Amino acid sequence: MTNNTRHSVQINPQRCIGCVHCMIACPTKAIRIKHDKALIIDELCIDCGECLRFCPEDAVESKTTSFSDLKAFPYKVVIPSTVLYGQFDNATLPNEILFALRRVGFDYVYEISAICELNNSALEMYLAAHLKPRPLISSTCPVVIRLIQRRFPSLCEHVVPIEPPRENAAKILRANLPRMTKVPASNIGIFHITPCPAKMVSINHPASMEKSYLDGAISIRDIFKTIYQTLHQNKEDTIMSHLFPETIFSGTGVGTALSGGETRGLKNHRTVAVSGVRDTIRVLNQVELGLLKDVDVLECTVCPDGCVGGPLTVENRYLAKSRILRLVNMMGERTVVDNSDMSLLYHKDFLSFHHPIAPLEPPPLDENPIHAISKANRRNEIFQRLPRKDCGACGAPDCRTLADDIVRGQAAHDDCPFVKKEET
Amino acid sequence: MRTTDIVFRQEFPVKGGDFSRAGEVSWAIKNLLKELGLSTSVVLRAAIATYEAELNIIMYALEGRLVLSVRPGQVYVVVEDSGPGIEDIELAMTEGYSTATLEMRELGFGAGMGLANIKKNTDVFLITSEVGHGTRLELTFLTNGQKP
């Protein structure tokens, strides 16, 4: 058991009071309470951020990029997630938000909806060229990738081998900005504005490439206030942003923040969109059993209702969803991607993974199959003697997990207060 | 003690007609076999076969059970139910043949691939059935990579 080192969430020991909320909420049972503090187990954590949602003490912190980290780069580029467009009131249009980001201090603001559409077209080409395997699973949600690596290793080859829009956008900017702006490449920092901490871990420890094209991810929660104040202090910007729009939005791309938003553009294919971490686990199991072979594309996002339900958002997800749906309706089917451009990028492998996603399975009970069998037997015996109250007081999320920890040598029988009481 | 005497055994009861819990036994077996360190391909074959077996009990029987035994080198599952039994086993084994009711099909089950799919995923497959009493399957999966 190793403590959390490479994950995007961390426990603040000053704030953590050792209650059981995060541990019970964790869908992969990756949290234990040791010495009255929560501890994240590295190999089991998938960075879903459920702990962050459930902590009543605000002790789970996301390791996203801070404003002081931005100072390292003289030329700052930002690629906001489309989730940001749903965080302000209905009267605030995306162009105003992009304009405000410029005023906040970013040298270049890049709107991502066109790249979302580009990715969609690339996926369409990939589907036509590869009849197997089915279903293909979208690569956008980094948590889904991490879940597949750890819990559904056979599905690694089902993941669409195209980098998600945020990475492709950053890649395009890296290739073109130095030439366009005459700023040396090393001075350019490219940042995503993210609704979840998982994007940060996908930048620091990417699953499908050696190094991410992004330099960091700023949480919507952290930057919201700054944007909000700028929007209110500079009313004339609104007019300017309408007269001189930063970009042309893609109607098919702007809805990708919502569950089903990615597959919406795939008109000629059978698609399924699932959101929420538990339903995602359920449907991935069904895929492994071969029950979804008649589906072409499966889009899974572990946040409820899609990225719009991310743990680092500010606005309640129903309102944010309604606003983004309104934008989708306003922009309609407007496409901005030239198919021949996309085809060129696709055939140059510009949009693809560097290397396939590899399984990262948690360790078995024992490397030796004979010992593993004995340990499984002992685990069942131990479990029989536990009270099955699943109270979490022992520091494990439930009695079954405590039994597992005991046979793995990571907990003791009398960690259970009921067993201890009986013994004394 | 010989290594073949070392066995992990667990019984999983299945209630007939309980579609809401369909797949739970196979999910538990899948996770157990992973924890025992078996290869992904064996784990998957066992998960698929036990899923189909579990569903057969839910669809046709009043009750039944799966008994999992894991020894070094092999996974052995006995599936027993007290159900209507199968009159013509050969016909039931045919891909696409199904006696599923309309209700079952509406739930997405009963494509008539069950038994054939179980057989395809096991290394040794035995089936015995008595009409009016029930059906018994014995599924063996070899875990050291060789087919019998």
Interface test with A, best of B26, B35, B55, B144 (most A CBs within 10 A): B35
Nearest CA of chain A to the CA of B8: how many Å? 6
pLDDT recorded at residue A408: 95
Enumerate residues 33 to 92 of chain B having a beta carbon within 8 A of any beta carbon in chain A: 34-38, 40-41, 44, 47-48, 51, 70-72
**Helices then strands, each counted (H, E), chain A:** 16, 11
Cβ contact B34–A286 (<8 Å): no
Average of pLDDT values for A204-228?
96
CB contact, 8 Å: B22 with chain A?
A: no
Average of pLDDT values for A99-115?
94
Least confident stretch, A8-22, A191-205, A223-237, B35-49: A223-237
Amino acid residing at A223: I
pLDDT recorded at residue B145: 61
The pLDDT confidence band at residue B112, using thresholds 50, 70 and 90, is low
Cα–Cα distance between A275 and A256 in angstroms, integer?
13
The partner residue sitting opposite A364, judged by closest CB among B10, B36, B44, is B36
The pLDDT confidence band at residue A233, using thresholds 50, 70 and 90, is confident
Residues in chain B within 8 Å Cβ distance of A370: 3, 6, 72
ipTM of the predicted structure? 0.89
Average of pLDDT values for B122-147?
89
Average of pLDDT values for B49-60?
94
Q: Inform me whether the pLDDT recorded for B147 exceeds 50.
A: no
Secondary element (H or E) of residue A73 = none
Average of pLDDT values for A402-424?
93
CB contact, 8 Å: A376 with chain B?
A: yes
The partner residue sitting opposite A364, judged by closest CB among B8, B35, B41, is B35
Q: Inform me whether the pLDDT recorded for A121 exceeds 90.
A: yes
Average of pLDDT values for A395-421?
96
Secondary element (H or E) of residue A23 = helix A21-25
Q: Is the peptide bond before A133 cis (omega within 30 degrees of 0)?
A: yes
Nearest CA of chain B to the CA of A402: how many Å? 15
Which residue carries 């190999």 as its tokens? A43
Give pTM, 2 decimals.
0.93
Query: Which CA distances in Å does A308 have to A216, A259, A264, A284, B24?
Result: 20, 8, 16, 21, 31
Task: Give me the percent of chain A exceeding a pLDDT of 70.
Answer: 98
Residues in chain A within 8 Å Cβ distance of B44: 154, 288
Nearest CA of chain A to the CA of B132: how many Å? 30
Higher pLDDT, B106 or B136: B136
Nearest CA of chain B to the CA of A231: how many Å? 50
Domain segments of chain B: what residues? 3-142
Query: Which CA distances in Å does A277 have to A21, A46, B132?
Result: 17, 10, 43
The tens digit of pLDDT for each residue in A281-309 reads 999 999 999 999 999 999 999 999 999 99
Average of pLDDT values for B85-89?
85
Least confident stretch, A79-83, A88-92, A223-227, B105-109: B105-109
Average of pLDDT values for B125-131?
94
Cβ contact A290–B48 (<8 Å): yes
Interface test with B, best of A373, A381, A407 (most B CBs within 10 A): A373
CB contact, 8 Å: A377 with chain B?
A: yes
pLDDT recorded at residue B130: 92
Q: Is there a contact between A29 and A401 (Cβ–Cβ < 8 Å)?
A: yes
Q: Inform me whether the pLDDT recorded for A209 exceeds 90.
A: yes
Q: Inform me whether the pLDDT recorded for B1 exceeds 70.
A: no
Residue of A nearest to B144 (CA): A369
CB contact, 8 Å: A364 with chain B?
A: yes
What does the CA dihedral A345, A346, A351, A353 come to, rounded to 10 degrees? Answer: -140
pLDDT recorded at residue A240: 76
pLDDT recorded at residue B111: 66
Nearest CA of chain B to the CA of A293: how many Å? 13
Supply the DSSP symbol for A415.
Answer: G
CB contact, 8 Å: B107 with chain A?
A: no
Residues in chain A within 8 Å Cβ distance of B3: 370
Distant-in-sequence, close-in-space partners of A173: CB < 8 Å, separation ≥ 6: A77, A79, A108, A110, A188, A190, A213
Cβ contact B34–A361 (<8 Å): yes
Nearest one of A387, A385, A381, A380 to A418, comparing CA atoms: A387
Cα–Cα distance between A303 and A301 in angstroms, integer?
6
The tens digit of pLDDT for each residue in A320-377 reads 999 999 999 998 888 888 888 889 999 999 999 999 999 999 999 999 999 999 999 9
Higher pLDDT, A146 or B89: A146
CB contact, 8 Å: B25 with chain A?
A: no
Cβ contact B3–A364 (<8 Å): no
The partner residue sitting opposite B36, judged by closest CB among A153, A288, A372, is A372
Average pLDDT, whole number, for chain A? 93
Cβ contact A285–B3 (<8 Å): no
Nearest one of A111, A113, A312 to A223, comparing CA atoms: A312
Q: How many Cβ atoms from other residues are within 10 Å of residue B33's Cβ?
A: 27
The tens digit of pLDDT for each residue in A9-26 reads 999 999 999 999 999 999
Strands (E) in B5-122, as ranges, are 8-15, 63-71, 74-82
CB contact, 8 Å: A290 with chain B?
A: yes
Structure tokens that stand for A82 in this block: 């489309």
Average of pLDDT values for A233-252?
79
Cβ contact B51–A153 (<8 Å): no
pLDDT recorded at residue A246: 63
pLDDT recorded at residue A363: 92
Q: What CATH fold (topology level) applies to the domain B3-142?
A: Heat Shock Protein 90 (3.30.565)
Q: Cα B125 vs. chain centroid, distance in angstroms?
A: 10
Q: Inform me whether the pLDDT recorded for A235 exceeds 80.
A: no
Cβ contact A286–B23 (<8 Å): yes
